[in-house]
Amino acid sequence: MARPKAPELTERELEIMQVFWDVGAQTAQEARDELDERGRNLAYTTVATLIRILTEKGFLQQTNEERPFIYEPIRSFEEVSQSLVNHLLSRVFGGSREKLLVSLFGKQRLTKKERAMLEEILREQKR
Confidence class for position 2, pLDDT limits 50, 70, 90: low
Could you tell me the pTM of the whole model?
0.82
| CATH of range 1-95; options 3.40.640.10, 1.10.10.10, 3.30.230.70, 3.40.30.10 | 1.10.10.10
Classified as helix, coil or strand, 62 is strand
CB 59 within 8 A of CB 15: no
- Give the residue among 37, 34, 44, 35 at the shortest CA–CA distance from 11: 35
Which amino acid type is present at position 92? V
27 strand-pairing partners: 70
**Average pLDDT of the residues in 66-76:** 97
pLDDT of residue 73: 98
Averaged confidence pLDDT in the chain: 92
Q: What is the pLDDT of residues 91-110, one digit of tens each?
A: 999 999 999 988 988 878 88
Confidence class for position 39, pLDDT limits 50, 70, 90: very high
Burial (0-12, 13-18, 19+ Cβ within 10 Å), 49: middle
